[in-house]
Amino acid sequence: MEEPVLRIEIMDSATLSEAKALVDRVFPAQGPFERLFPWTFIGRESAFSRAVLRLAGVSELTEFWVAIDDDGTVIGTTGLYRHCKDAHEAVWLSWFCVAPESRGNGLGGRLLDFSIERARRSGADFLRLYTSDTQNEAAAQRLYEGRGLRVYQSRNRILYRLLRRELRLN
């Protein structure tokens, strides 16, 4: 199978709406802070954005990117941020997703490899992420395992287990 054309670009105000629609489709059960995340990213210098980020425990948003196919459609997203509790040692993967109709072609792996490389460049010791054991994330779990992101914490929720994964970067 031929590998699809893919560009990875910094998310900006021109790609934000399409990226947000994709994330909402892939993760329909987002919490209120997760839903505000992209808007605070674009306007991160405003007092409102800084306040929302502080409430969410985010100390710094680094960058967010979109994966764009050869038709100019956003088919994936990824981003990195620092959490207040461990900003000295880790960056966190956020908004990592691939459009359901674009899966199965290696795009998720390419996007995750890109994210891992950016995390290494950040100087952090670890790349971490929140994920779950729900059926719709099974392929993502295999991808994370294949890239060395191990589960270091698991918490039971009503309908799923919340997993924290990490990869030592150096």
- The helix/strand/coil state of 66 is strand
| φ and ψ at residue 115, rounded to 5 degrees | -65, -40
Asked whether the beta carbons of 129 and 86 are under 8 A apart, the reply is no
What does the buried/exposed string (b/e) look like for 74-84 if buried means 16 or more CB atoms within 10 Å of the residue's CB?
bbbbbbbbbbe
126-132/90-98 β-pairing: parallel
Q: How many domains does the chain have?
A: 1
pLDDT surpasses 60 at 108: yes
**Residues of the chain above pLDDT 90, percent:** 44
- Does residue 161 lie in a domain region? no
Return the pLDDT at 16: 87
- 67 HSE (CA, 13 A, CB side): 27
pTM: 0.86
Tens-place pLDDT, residues 131-170: 888 887 889 999 999 999 999 998 887 777 888 999 999 8
- Does residue 46 lie in a domain region? yes
- Does residue 42 lie in a domain region? yes
Q: What is the CATH number of the domain that holds 94?
A: 3.40.630.30
